[in-house]
């Protein structure tokens, strides 16, 4: 397939892996793949086994499902139990544990949850079923925020009264800055999230490079993209440099997508928000702006999302911060498995724990 298969070419992958192994230092450079799709792609393509010993890849907080607090799931469930409400969601959210239950389990008890591919499908559903209140579970980062915003704007233009969004939208650079400042984490290079960067461009990473002296390379999602970005980070280390580079030029323009950012600016407003396992990060969230308050499910239906740090032996927080690898958590593979996840990192396909469990972390 065009723009896919060229970037999976086995011969090129092999050559690049050899090159990385030759250039790798000792101890291995400690890199963080911020984005969960990177985590999943690395695991699925077996890159972790190819790179083991050459670079140390730790996974960051870049899976929106994983960092969505359990209070959000609880609020969604509470909404779903109100009469007349239909919840719509990306498939990822269905098995995410709240404090006591999941949307999948509550669906079996009778709440109406429908999986959609696009937020616009939820708007179409609202138009088709005017007697139901359609609530979209708007989870995502900067990549998805414009799509959620676009859906809200569409519903507003169409004057739909029965559509609202329960937002759980976060922005990545603020979280990366927190991780960069944490001396325990010791990140030596960031693989920056490619599709977030499609929207925000490369500029937001400049401070990480200049202030924290951490090399940053924007990275695509095919095996060659990831290996290229790893090589570029190794090269920066060798040079003693810390700059922002773009290994995903076919997707990411340095200035990002202005139109998408305009939609975000119109529909959302920045706020402080809690990240599951990490805590509240100032300015890292997007709430629905007052202009579109009528489409904010939290305000419309009076179901607040309450954030509290969980009291649990689950170490997803440390996994999300790259402090430990999943097998170092006492629950991993025992009390916490994909069928009955304790922590969110085990839920999403791109959750770090799930990727480790499913594809085998340091597999021989």
Partner 1 sequence: MTAGKASATDRILLSHGEGGKRTRELIGTVISRYFSNPVLAPFFDSGLLGRIDGEIAFTTDGHVVSPAFFPGGDIGRLAVCGTVNDLAVCGARGIAISCGLVLEEGLPIETLERALAAMRDAAAEAGVLVACGDTKVVEKGKGDGIFITTAGVGVMVDGWRPSPEAVRPGDRILLTGTMGDHYVAVLVARQRLSLSAPVLSDVAPVGGMILPLLERFGSRVRFMRDPTRGGVGVTLNEMASSAKARFVLDEERLPVRESVRGVCEILGFDPLYLANEGKALLIVDPSAAEDALAALREHPLGREAAIVGTVEEGAPGVRMRTLAGGLRAVDYPVGDQLPRIC
Partner 2 sequence: MCLAIPAKVLSIEGDNAMIELGGTQREASLMLLEGVSVGDWVIVHAGFAIEKLSEEDAAQTFALLKEIMESGSDEVH
Contacts with partner 2, residue ranges (CB under 8 A): 1-4, 6-7, 12, 15-16, 19, 22-23, 35-37, 62-64, 90, 117-121, 140-141, 143-144, 146-147, 150, 153-154, 193-196, 198-199, 220, 224-225, 228, 231-232, 235, 238, 247-253, 257, 259-260, 263, 350
- Give CA 250 to chain center in angstroms: 21
**Per-residue CA distances from 4 to 155, 308, 359 (Å):** 34, 41, 21
Residues between 1 and 30 that touch partner 1 (CB under 8 A): 1, 4, 8, 10, 13-14, 17
Which does residue 150 bind out of partner 1, partner 2, none, counting CB within 5 to 8 angstroms by kind?
A: partner 2
Beta bridge partners of 85: 133
- Which of partner 2, partner 1, none lies near 358, with the C-beta cut-off 5 to 8 A by kind? partner 1
Q: Residue length, the chain?
A: 364
Contact pick of 32, 36, 142, 274 for partner 1 (by CB under 8 A): 36
Nearer to partner 2, 78 or 134 (CB): 134
86 binds, among partner 2, partner 1, none (CB under 5 to 8 A by kind): none
In the complex with partner 1, the residue whose CB is nearer, 46 or 251, is 46
Instruction: Render 151-220 in DSSP notation, one character per residue.
Output: HHHHHHHTT-SSEEEEEEEE-HHHHHHHHHH-TTT---EEEEEHHHHHHH-SGGGHHHHHHH---EEEE-
Q: Which is nearer to partner 1, 95 or 300 (CB)?
A: 95
Contact 310, 345 (CB under 8 A): no
Binding-site partner at residue 363 among partner 2, partner 1, none, CB < 5 to 8 Å by type: partner 1
CA 106 to chain centroid, in Å, comes to 24
Q: Is 333 in the site for partner 1 (CB under 8 A)?
A: no
Q: Which is nearer to partner 1, 193 or 215 (CB)?
A: 193
How far is the C-alpha of 88 from the C-alpha of 109, rounded, in Å? 16
Among the candidate windows 109-117, 159-167, 265-273, 291-299, which touches partner 1 by CB under 8 A? 109-117
- Cβ neighbours of 264 (radius 10 Å): 23
Q: For residues 47 and 209, what is the distance between their CA atoms, to the nearest angstrom?
A: 26
Q: Binds 199, which of partner 2, partner 1, none (CB < 5 to 8 A, cut-off by type)?
A: partner 2
Say which entry of partner 2, partner 1, none residue 344 contacts (CB below 5 to 8 A, set by partner kind).
Answer: none
- The beta-strand segments (E) located in the chain are 29-35, 55-62, 85-89, 112-115, 133-140, 163-170, 189-193, 216-219, 244-246, 268-275, 279-288
Q: Which is nearer to partner 1, 7 or 268 (CB)?
A: 7
Binds 174: which of partner 2, partner 1, none (CB < 5-8 Å by kind): none
Sign of CA dihedral 345, 351, 357, 362: negative
**Contacts of partner 1 in 45-104 (CB under 8 A):** 45-50, 63-65, 90-92, 94-95, 104
Task: Return d(Cα 129, Cα 87) in angstroms, integer.
Answer: 13
Q: Which spans of this chain sit near partner 1 (rule: CB under 8 A)?
A: 1, 4, 8, 10, 13-14, 17, 36-37, 43-50, 63-65, 90-92, 94-95, 104, 114-117, 121, 139-140, 144, 223, 338-339, 348-350, 357-360, 363-364
């Amino acid at each position: 397939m065009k723009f896919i298969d060229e970037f999976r070419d086995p011969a090129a992958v092999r050559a690049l892996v050899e090159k990385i192994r030759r250039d790798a230092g000792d101890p291995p450079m400690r890199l963080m793949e911020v984005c969960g799709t990177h985590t999943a792609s690395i695991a699925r393509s077996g890159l972790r086994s190819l790179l083991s010993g050459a670079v140390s890849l730790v996974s960051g907080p870049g899976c929106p499902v994983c960092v969505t607090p359990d209070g959000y799931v609880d609020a969604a469930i509470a909404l779903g139990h109100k009469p007349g409400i239909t919840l719509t969601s990306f498939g990822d959210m269905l098995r995410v544990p709240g404090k006591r239950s999941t949307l999948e389990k509550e669906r079996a008890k009778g709440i109406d949850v429908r999986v959609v591919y696009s937020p616009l499908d939820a708007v179409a559903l609202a138009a088709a079923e005017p007697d139901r209140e359609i609530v979209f579970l708007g989870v995502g980062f900067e990549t998805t925020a414009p799509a959620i915003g676009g859906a809200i704007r569409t519903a507003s233009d169409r004057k739909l009264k029965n559509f609202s969004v329960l937002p759980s939208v976060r922005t990545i650079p603020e979280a990366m800055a927190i991780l960069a400042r944490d001396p325990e984490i010791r990140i030596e290079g960031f693989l920056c999230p490619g599709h977030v960067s499609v929207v925000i461009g490369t500029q937001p990473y400049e401070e990480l490079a200049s202030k924290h002296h951490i090399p940053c390379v924007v990275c695509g999602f095919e095996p060659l993209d990831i290996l290229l970005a790893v090589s570029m980070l190794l090269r920066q280390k060798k040079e003693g440099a810390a700059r922002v580079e773009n290994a995903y030029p076919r997707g990411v323009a340095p200035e990002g997508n202005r139109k998408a950012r305009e939609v975000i600016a119109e529909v959302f407003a920045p706020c402080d928000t809690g990240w599951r396992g990490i805590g509240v990060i100032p300015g890292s969230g997007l709430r629905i702006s007052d202009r579109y308050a009528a489409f904010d499910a939290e305000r419309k239906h009076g179901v607040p999302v309450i954030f509290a740090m969980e009291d649990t032996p689950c170490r997803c927080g440390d996994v999300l911060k790259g402090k430990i690898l999943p097998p170092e958590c006492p629950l991993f593979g025992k009390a916490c498995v994909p069928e009955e996840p304790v922590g969110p990192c085990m839920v999403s396909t791109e959750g770090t724990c799930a990727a480790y469990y499913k594809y085998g972390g340091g597999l021989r």
